[in-house]
Amino acid sequence: MDMQAEKIELTKLLLSTDNPNILNSIREIFKLNRTDDFWDELSIEEKEEIERGTEDIKNGEFQSYDSFMSSHR
């Protein structure tokens, strides 16, 4: 069965049920499979800061975690 036919068949099944457990289960499946990208939720400033950090790393302008922590203890 092709994808479009499968969707139609599932839609028919969904529309024919009054079982709240089935509907809730389907809702949970969709929630679990959300593919929202956190990047879209960041502010412009946050995105710019991340991009600057990425550039710094590419340019070798960073220090290790241990080095950073030892200078702040």
Confidence (pLDDT) at 59: 94
* pTM score of the predicted model: 0.45
pLDDT at 1 over 80: no
Token pair listed for 23: 């509907």
Tens-digit pLDDT profile for residues 24-68: 999 999 888 877 788 888 999 999 999 999 999 999 998 889 988
pLDDT at 13 over 80: yes
Closest C-alpha among 46, 48, 30, 26 to residue 38: 46
Confidence (pLDDT) at 9: 95
Residues in contact with 47: Cβ distance below 8 Å, sequence separation at least 6, in sequence order: 39
Residues in contact with 40: Cβ distance below 8 Å, sequence separation at least 6, in sequence order: none
